[in-house]
Structure 1
Amino acid sequence: MKAVALTRYLPIDDPQSLVDIELPKPTLVDGHDLLVRVEAVSVNPVDTKVRSPKPQVEAQPKVLGYDAAGVVEAVGENVTRFKPGDAVYYAGDITRSGSNAQYQLVDERLVGARPQSLDFAQAAALPLTAITAWELLFQRMPFAEDDGGKGKTLLVIAGAGGVGSIAIQLARRAGFTVIATASRAETIEWCMQMGAQRVIDHRQALAPQLAALDFEQVDAAINLADTDRYWDTLGELLAPQGHVGLIVEPAGALKIGDPYKAKCIGIHWEMMFARPRFRTTDMGEQGRILERVAALVDAGELRGTHGETLGVINAANLREAHRRLESGRTVGKLVLAGW
């Protein structure tokens, strides 16, 4: 089968950073596995982080890719939710071979039926970011999905990113007043399209901008960009007994005492791959989240975040997707479709 892989971790402008290869078609080895024919993939910051330059050399080609939509080809003996021919979407498991290949094995518990109103490219843009936003807001932080934000204000740092785009929508649906951050005309417009009621510039001090909008504090914040940079600021902005959600590994040690301790601010980490990586007893929750997201999309309550399809799935197009993502100037999700 066709695949895109790496054996060395190189800068993205090096043609060997991602290469086209042929690999054997995988066979079912676990009773919960699906064999999926991959039709479309999306690229996320985790792809660029895993691929980032380091001296390590892989003995066997490593296939990245943590967002896919495709068709079930075969099912393991314990599979109950899917059958061959079903259209599905999923993020998968970072400890296994990724989706940048024509065929992939994935545990059915991590998979959802593709939204009927989306094509494969549009569906591939959703899984990782939707699971991340859902888990962070409704399972790590203590907010109910339908009305947990009523009377509360949520600050979304990096609102135009993949996770931010979904988080804004989910938060609005839950009743939050949503203030997003963005810094360019196109990203400000994107945040407003996603449902943010206010947008402020994350390149400038946040507190004065919030005060100008009559927000002296916020009840909750999710920092989807730079944990270290905004840590002290959020400690001052968050209300007593507020909550902060984080997804980015800090570069240094964080001071988790005052004002966080004094205010009893809840600190909540989200790592989408925790459930599959550690084989938690509730890993099937990710499949259920994707089913719920699909229902909301098909009901018109949640919109997709597909930005652009760069072409077919090959090394050249994946390198371009990585390059654009590393530039920090993308709007919406970058997708590749077909072989």
Structure 2
Amino acid sequence: MKAIGFKTSLSIEEKDSFIEFETTKPIPGAHDLLVKIDAISVNPVDFKIRQSSAKDTVLETPKIIGWDAVGIVQAVGEKVTLFEVGDLVYYAGDITKQGSNAEFQIIDERIVGRKPKTLSAEESAVIPLTALTAWEILFDRIRVNADKDKGKSILIIGGAGGVGSIAIQLAKKIAGLTVIATASRPETIDWCKQQGADFVVNHKDLVKSVREAGFENVDFILDFVDTNAYWDTMVELIKPQGHIASITGSAEPLVLNKLKSKSVSFSWELMYTRSMYQTEDMVEQHNILNIVADLLDDGILKTTLKETYHGLTAENLKKAHQLLESGKTIGKIAIKF
């Protein structure tokens, strides 16, 4: 099968930052599906792993990355019960295994959902990683309750990105929250409003912008940009007994003691935790993806696709990575095979 990978971590402008090669089609294990991929999308995790996973070394076999795919089930493992050959599926993958930048991929059925019926392959491919991340951070980490928390305020830092785009929709349309999203350019402000944000504030002076929007403090904060850079700002803006959650990691230790006087909770979210540790509730990602597919098919949620490239080529992956690395991406990028 055709695949695209890399043997060493190079700048995306370098000729061999991605290479096309032929490799053996994988064989599914007991709980695996073999999926013939039709479309993928690209996320910031892709370029971060490309930049860091083969530094100062040359791999013998190219590393295949990519997390987000849509395709058709070609074969199933002996213990598979959730899918059959011929099913159309979508998923975000497992960071510990080979990725989706290939013609075929094996994937554990417990982290796979049915493809939305009303969306194209590329419209569906941009959903899984960001929807799972946004769903888990809202409903598993913060544990937002649509009845108890309806009308409460949530600040989403990084509203126009892939995760921010779907988080705005889930927070507004499913959780019933009052959504404040950050953006600074006219096109990103407009995008956040299209996703359903009630207020769009400027992240360059966030405390001032939030308060000018009429909020002294907010109930919940989601950080999709930089935990360290926004830590003191989030500490100031969060309400007593509020909850902050982040996906971005921390280059420097966080001073959690700053949350103590307000009795504020803090959570990390990593979408790969369930698959990485084979948690007892790993199948929840299957359930979440099916719920999201229903919401998309019912028109309650909408795809966050912004741009599509055509063809599984090294050049298309380079273009997608360059755009993501620029930090100016709006919504999501898909590649249709």
TM-score range, shorter chain: over 0.9
Q: Determine the structure 1 residue equivalent to 2:216.
A: 216
Q: Report the CA distance between 1:307 and its aligned residue.
A: 0.8
Any conservation in 2 of the 1:181–1:200 contact (CA below 8 Å)?
A: yes
Aligned AA (1:220): F
Runs of 4+ in 1 over 4 A off after TM superposition: none
- 8 Å contact kept, 2:162–2:304: yes
Distance 1:147 1:105 in 2: 39
Shift of 1:331: 1.1
Amino acid at match of 2:308: T
Code of the residue aligned with 2:329 in structure 1: it is T
1:91 pairs with 2:92: yes
Provide the residue aligned with 1:226 in structure 2. Answer: 226
Q: Quick one: distance in 1 between partners of 2:195 and 2:148?
A: 19
Per the alignment, residue 165 of structure 2 pairs with: 165
**How far apart are 1:310 and its partner, in Å?**
1.4
Who is 2:206 aligned against?
Answer: 206
Tell me, in whole angstroms, the C-alpha distance in 2 between the residues paired with 1:95 and 1:56: 19
CA deviation map 1:213-233 (0-9, x unaligned): 211000000010011010011
The answer to whether the Cα contact below 8 Å between 1:43 and 1:335 also exists between their aligned partners in 2 is yes
Tell me the equivalent position of 1:61: 62
Partner of 1:333: 332
Mapped contact 2:18–2:317 kept (Cα < 8 A)? yes
What is the TM-score normalised by the length of structure 2?
A: 0.97
**Which residue of structure 2 aligns with residue 127 of structure 1?**
128
Inter-partner Cα distance in structure 2 for 1:213 and 1:125: 31
Aligned to 1:313: 312
1:143 maps to: 144
Letter in 1 for 2:143: P
TM superposition shift of 1:103:
0.3
1:159 alignment partner, SS class: coil
What root-mean-square deviation, in Å, do the aligned CA atoms of Structure 1 and Structure 2 show?
Answer: 0.9
Query: Could you say which residue in structure 1 is the equivalent of 2:102?
Result: 101
Aligned residue-pair number: 334
Question: Are the equivalent residues in 2 in contact too, given 1:32–1:107 (CA < 8 A)?
Answer: yes
Distance 2:208 2:97 in 1: 46
TM-score by length of 1: 0.97
Q: 3-state SS of the aligned residue for 1:297?
A: helix
Q: Name the residue aligned to 2:196.
A: 195
Alpha-carbon distance between aligned partners in 2 of 1:148 and 1:193, rounded to the nearest angstrom: 26
Residue deviations 1:115-170, cap 9 Å, x none? Answer: 001111111000000000000000011212x4353131000000001000011010
The CA deviation string for residues 176-222 of structure 1, in whole angstroms up to 9 with x for no partner, is 1000001111110000000001001112x211112212110000000
1:214 maps to amino acid:
G
8 A Cα contact 2:201 2:213, kept in partner: no
- 8 Å Cα contact 1:149/1:171 also seen in 2: no
Q: Which amino acid aligns with 1:290?
A: L
Deviations 1:22-52 (A, max 9, x none): 1111112x21000000000000000000001
Matched-pair identity in %? 50
Matched, 1:111 2:109: no
